Amino acid sequence: MTDTTHIPTEEPEPVKTGMDIGDILKILPHRYPFLLIDRVIELERMKSIVALKNVTITEPFFQGHFPGKPIMPGVLIVEAIAQAGGLLLLTEVPNRDEMLMVFTGIEKARFRRPVVPGDQLRIEVVVKAWRTTAARLEGKAYVDGKVACEATVTCRLVPRTMNREGQLSEGSSSES
């Protein structure tokens, strides 16, 4: 019998399938009152994400939309879909502190039912196309198992130092 040494192979780090608000804040640049994701309950790397948004009467937009009949603005539901998708994509970007994921398009947006205080949005986003700097995502937001909103969004990864014309700002470098 020979004496052999077993060298264990290094196991890859497990992919986190859920995130709490602390994890989300480390990845998304959004902050109150514009952060529209409270928790991630499922995440399949580069494929899909399921996030939650608890809608409360204290949301600042309810003051004016609409007094006496509070309804979450549809554009903010689409933004929540985009934030969930951005969260999914930014988990794969090693230098995400230097980058922003910005909207480049919204297609096929449909609003099926109002979202009101006390509702919980379940936001499901699936990647349809993903390149290094751009993506197309299909998202649906549900309340009590019924579709409240659906939309296809496109986004692009840009340096945080980019100016309004899409150029890197003076004094910044495109090198990482």
Question: Rounded to the nearest 5°, which phi and psi values hold at 88?
Answer: -60, -50
Q: For 156, how many CA atoms within 13 A lie in the half-sphere containing its CB?
A: 8
Contact 53, 20 (CB under 8 A): no
Distance CA(142)–CA(120), nearest Å, equals 8
Active site residues: 65
DSSP state of 79: H
Token pair 């409270």: residue: 38
